[in-house]
């Protein structure tokens, strides 16, 4: 499942658009790499998507485990990339906790350099619990 949402503010100029890229997360079949790689964060970083946006959001629809698990997976991928010879995620800040809406828990923010040298993109990470209700603790 792939979900792209664009919110465009109308009625005033300039018209500002805000992009949301949603990815499923599940330990079997939808690992964190689908969220961080091509088709996810990678498209924003490599300017295939949202090139005109200084900020966008990644929405993680997790189907198993919990937010701390997926936070640790995201942090692991970012750390592995930072320590690699050829960095793809181009992080310029550390992953940090933020609060966008009080009703949401586990929101994160991080900045990445873009591959076309036009600057940075700030990616907000929102985690939505899509586990069956019987699996929620």
Answer yes or no: is pLDDT of 20 > 80.
yes
Q: Structural domain boundaries of the chain?
A: 2-135
DSSP assignment of the chain equals: -EEEEEEE--SSSSPPEEEEEEEEEBTTTB-HHHHHSTTTHHHHHTTSS-TT-SEEEEEEEE-SS-HHHHHHHHHHHHHHHHTSSS-SS-B-S--EE--S-TT--S-EEEEEE-TTSS-EEEEEEEEEE-S-GGG--
Q: Of residues 76 and 11, which shows the higher confidence score?
A: 76
Each residue's pLDDT tens digit, 96-137: 999 988 898 999 999 999 999 889 999 999 999 999 886 555
Mean pLDDT of 13-27: 83
Query: From CA 49, how far away is CA 38, in angstroms rounded?
Result: 11
pTM: 0.86
Each residue's pLDDT tens digit, 71-96: 999 999 999 999 999 999 999 999 99
Query: From CA 134, how far away is CA 22, in angstroms rounded?
Result: 23
Q: Phi and psi of 58, rounded to 5°? A: -105, 125
């Amino acid at each position: 499942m792939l979900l792209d949402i664009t919110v465009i503010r109308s009625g005033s100029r300039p018209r500002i658009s805000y992009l949301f890229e949603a990815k499923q997360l599940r330990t079997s079949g939808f690992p964190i790499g689908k969220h961080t790689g091509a088709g996810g964060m990678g498209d924003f970083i490599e300017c295939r998507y949202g090139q005109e946006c200084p900020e966008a959001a990644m929405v993680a629809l997790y189907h198993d485990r919990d937010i701390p698990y997926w936070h640790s997976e995201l942090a692991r991928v970012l750390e592995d990339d930072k320590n690699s010879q050829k960095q793809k995620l181009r992080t310029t800040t550390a992953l940090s906790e933020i609060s966008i809406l009080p009703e949401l828990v586990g929101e994160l923010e991080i900045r990445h350099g873009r591959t076309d040298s036009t600057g940075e993109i700030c990616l907000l990470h929102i985690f939505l619990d899509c586990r069956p209700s019987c699996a929620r603790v």
